[in-house]
A and B are shown apart, each in its own frame.
Chain A
Amino acid sequence: MNWNTINVIYKREMGHYFNTPIGYIFLAIFILFAGFMLFFTPPRFWDSGNSMRSFFDLLPILYMFFIPAITMRLWAEEKKSGTIEFFFTLPFTETEAILGKFLSALTFLAIALSTTLPIAVTTILTGSPDLAQILGGYLGGLLSGAAYISLGLYLSWLVNDQINAFLLAFLASFFFFMLGYQPLLQFFGPWKDFLAFFSISWHVQSLYRGLIDTRDILYFILFPLLFLYLNRESIWRSR
């Protein structure tokens, strides 16, 4: 694996985000929704002890729309426009290509999350937050985002159209989110604990409380690795 090659692909993908208005539009929508969730959705920021809790609680719902939007074009657009054939004639491996795309989407997500830093500053200045919980919230946001991105990237490969890639990634994100939802889980009887354990929302809650748990960290390492691996396998099979 050559990191220089990964860097080339990474820069190319980052260019796709920032050389066209689409990346800016996505970021602006993210900023507007994040602010709306915090300041206008009950419990409102100013009514709830000036805490970021409601932002982090609603972040997985924002991700269900935002991450499919940033991953939908990663492979599907290449396939639709026909550049995929040319793409793989270039001197790099599937793994390098996947990692380049994955890291660029992750960076884009990190930039999106960083746009909420003024909210963190407001919280620190006007409330009495626990810094570990804010940091844990951001770490959880990034790790769960990485999991959703790997999922979206893989699903983007399976279809030839951005809209389908978005819908598929949205449904899959929704599925992994709902796995941790108790009213739904109660229908699975003895399997509910097992299923809940594979929910992204289940694992991220500890981090939001400032708890570092090896089970969650392991899950957030293994989950993206699994889907990046499945992506590589899918590419290999189709070539």
Chain B
Amino acid sequence: MDKFIKSIQQFLSSRNATVALVILLFLSVSYLSYGLYLRMDLSSQGTLRLTKTTRQILNKLEEPLTIEAYFSEDMPEAALQTVKFMKDFVSEYAGISSKVRLRVLNPDKDEDAKMRADSLGIRPLQIGAVDKKKQEVASIYFSLALHYGGKTEIVPSLLESPSPEYDITARVIKLSQPERNRVGILVNPGMVRPDSNASSFEKVEYLRDTIETLYGAMEQIDTTVSEIPPEVKTILLVRPGVLTEIDRYKLDQFLMRGGRLIVAASGMAIDFQSGIASESTSDIVSFLEPYGIVLGKDIIYESNSNFLPYEQRVNAFQSISLPYPVWNISTSLNQKLEITKGLKALVLPYASTITLAGKQEGTTAEILASSSSGAWAQKSFAMIDPRRMPTQPPEGTTKQIHNQSVLLSGKFKSAFAASPDQNSAYPHLPEGEGKLLVTGTPYAFTDIGVQLSDGLNLNFVLSAVDSFNGMEELLALRKKSPPAPKRLNLSQATQDAITFFNFLIPLGLLAGFGIYHFSQRRQRMNQGENHEN
């Protein structure tokens, strides 16, 4: 026994013990730091940075908030890093306020958790995974359930969320501040609808889903056959086609009683089959005119646009990149207004010009987005096929800045004020304080525009809705705007040249330094030899 104790004592006083201790210390300190850490997201977007707004909201909670995280343990390689970041991010919520509790559940291994997830409507997410050298679809849980005051909100997926903070905190706001105004969308015949089975150019499913998450079910209003419900304070009009007099009257009166209209419409009708745009017969143009907005029957060609280059195959091995000037990015956004403040860009496909002409007294107009000075408006008839597009404006048309999105607010006068039979057929409010936001294209808010703008366009329209509904907290959360997409439209030859210079510059500098260094060294050696001689 003594011998054993002695050998232990000897080991402990040896350098071997110190080495073992140092290794153990490294392992334990590294691993223990897992639970105690600080994190800073220095990226410009700050996706994983909790804002002051979230902290304030969580600290103001009156009742306990329980965040149930339904996370699978085995995640495919592709999702692993995102999962790691998101787990840390969700944990930060629990660290802010003692009222926030986090429960992590694994429905893959816990049958009760699986049943609970099912009852809450949480379904496993399907994501692509490579397993045993073959492509498979992995089924994983990575959702949240937020419980507050007997109510529950679900964050269906954290995996591909561009703004997880918004996704979580907005739902916390919804739970803790249930009273809010409703949002509606006009679904008169011929309009872009949220629930159509049409192409991504023709539906607003993303927009509908996002708004419904925050504002409850979106009211679908057909003004031809029904009235605008009084609880609806904001209405979206995406590519309104036919607006009969009764439709225009109801929308006018909605504006007069303080309603907010968000119009996304073009003065041109696009035929994607033939690649031609021609003057639209939509009644929205005449609807807007009494309020001082002229929606141009034209399409803006942005000569600097390179957002959506069009690849054209030259031969079997080579393709060239053509600019697509009708898909343009507006980076000239009004940074004074809450709606566009902090937003880096808007992607505006096939946009028409908006001119402020004869603005009503008592209203103020703000330009939210405009083109660059290199843009021109192609009037009445335009090619949208990149192979047949003009590269320069036609004679008599100059390149200039065009308004692409404007906001009118203040005391509007009814367009029906001069109606001869105003008291019988159209009893109306003669004036009222409303807001009218017009963007010169519907495709910025349809699914195609929302998807390709990487959240920028969605941010814009949601900021407008939040601003119109006095939801400053949501607005503050959405200030994490993605950077403006920029990709110079470079020819293949220019790309090759830049690639070549990326090799040449460092190799040239290296060779130059090497030659200089060796010649200096040789000189010093020669001097040394001469000195010795």
Contact = CB atoms under 8 A, between A and B. Distances in A.
B498 interface: yes
Interface in A215-231: 215, 218-219, 222-223, 225-226, 229-230
Contact of B503 (A27, A32, A131, A182): A32
A212 B39 contact: yes
* Interface bracket on A: 35 or more
Interface string A19-31: 1010010011001
A173 interface: no
Interface in A41-59: 45-46, 49-50
Interface stretch (B75-83, B142-150, B217-225, B228-236): B75-83
A222 B26 contact: yes
Interface in B24-49: 26-27, 29-31, 33-34, 37-45, 48
Contacts of A131: 44
A128 B482 CA distance: 10
B15 A49 contact: no
A125 B29 CA distance: 42
A221 to B, nearest CB: 10
* Interface bracket on B: 35 or more
Given A18-B517, A24-B514, A194 B31 contact: yes
A147 to B, nearest CB: 12
Nearest to A39: B499
Interface stretch (B185-193, B204-212, B398-406, B484-492): B484-492
Contacts of A194: 31
A118 B41 contact: no
A211 interface: yes
A222 B44 contact: no
A211 B42 contact: yes
A136 interface: yes
Interface string A104-126: 00000000000111110010011
Interface string B476-498: 00000001111110100001001
A211 B43 contact: yes
Contacts of B131: 183
Contacts of B509: 115
Nearest to A20: B518
A215 B37 contact: yes
A239 interface: no
A133 interface: yes
Nearest to B35: A215
A132 B510 contact: no
Contacts of B31: 194, 197
A236 interface: yes
Contact of A130 (B84, B483, B498, B503): B483
Interface string A170-193: 000000000001110010000000
Contacts of B74: 186
Contacts of A225: 26
A214 B27 CA distance: 16
Given A214-B38, A222-B29, A126 B85 contact: no
Nearest to A27: B510
A211 B39 contact: yes
B40 A116 contact: no
B502 A118 contact: yes
Nearest to B514: A24
Interface stretch (A69-77, A82-90, A202-210): A202-210
Nearest to A201: B81
Contact of B42 (A127, A181, A212): A212
B43 A133 contact: yes
Contact of A116 (B30, B486, B506): B506
A182 B76 contact: yes
B507 interface: yes
A67 B216 CA distance: 56
B23 interface: yes
B85 A198 contact: no
B19 A233 contact: yes
B33 A209 contact: no
Contact of B45 (A130, A136, A215): A130
Given A31-B510, A182-B80, A197-B30, A39 B40 contact: no
Contact of B483 (A38, A128, A230, A237): A128
A128 B502 contact: no
Contacts of B48: 209, 211
Contacts of B511: 24
B482 to A, nearest CB: 9
Given A35-B499, A35-B503, 5 more contacts: A39-B502, A118-B506, A132-B44, A215-B37, A229-B22
6 contacts: A19-B517, A46-B499, A118-B506, A211-B42, A215-B34, A215-B37
Interface of A: 18-19, 21, 24, 27-28, 31-32, 35, 38-39, 45-46, 49-50, 115-119, 122, 125-133, 135-136, 181-183, 186, 194, 197-198, 205-206, 209-215, 218-219, 222-223, 225-226, 229-230, 233, 236-237
- Which 9 A-B pairs have CB atoms at the shortest separation, nearest pair first? A210-B43, A115-B506, A128-B486, A182-B77, A132-B42, A212-B40, A226-B26, A132-B43, A214-B37
